[in-house]
Chain A
């Protein structure tokens, strides 16, 4: 149990276009979902936290108008990178949390990640 999927796994797009990444909890309801960005050889950086039905909370330095997050249901959150530029190229990982499933209250279940390349 506790599987999180992401789609697509890889995407290549042209500069200026928008890209949507989906994160789904397959067998549990995720009360909270998180979006991370991972640069090569650098830490996984938390971008935003979203709770179902409410606006996402963005970390300092993350542009909310550029990285649109929608957590429309307990099993789906989407991250839309608007007007993508080459510097947005990165590995984006989502995670989901369900208080009832976690071995301890903070456990997150991670998706496999989406590699975005902006040409």
Chain B
């Protein structure tokens, strides 16, 4: 199966929180990343977490890492329509398939 797995779609209402989940098999990555891909644009690094951390908060973004379960999540607080994009979870050179987040007004 895939090294990094994430669900393909997520739909939320504007103002709600979004949580995008990711599981991975290879635990050797030093860092774990969340990338954002807007329509017609390349991937942009959104945030990252060092593998020995459990949580990282960066403004509206919260990353949680559960190394035991090999589970990574990205929480976006107060989701806005501009957050609509595809979000990729990644370890070193291994990417998930991307979760398409749709924010409804």
Contacts and interface: CB of A to CB of B under 8 A. Distances in A.
Contact of A42 (B35, B42, B50, B97): B97
Contacts, number: 48
B5 to A, nearest CB: 9
B97 A43 contact: yes
A46 B95 CA distance: 9
Contacts of B42: 4, 6, 93, 110-113
Contact of A112 (B4, B41, B94): B41
* Contact-size category for A: 20 to 34
A105 B94 CA distance: 16
A109 to B, nearest CB: 8
B2 A46 contact: no
Contacts of A106: 30-31, 92
Interface of B: 2-4, 8, 30-31, 35, 40-45, 48, 50, 88, 90, 92-98
The 9 A-B pairs at the shortest CB distance, nearest first, are namely A44-B95, A110-B42, A110-B43, A112-B42, A43-B97, A46-B93, A43-B95, A111-B42, A42-B97
Interface of A: 4, 6, 34, 36, 41-46, 93, 95, 103-113
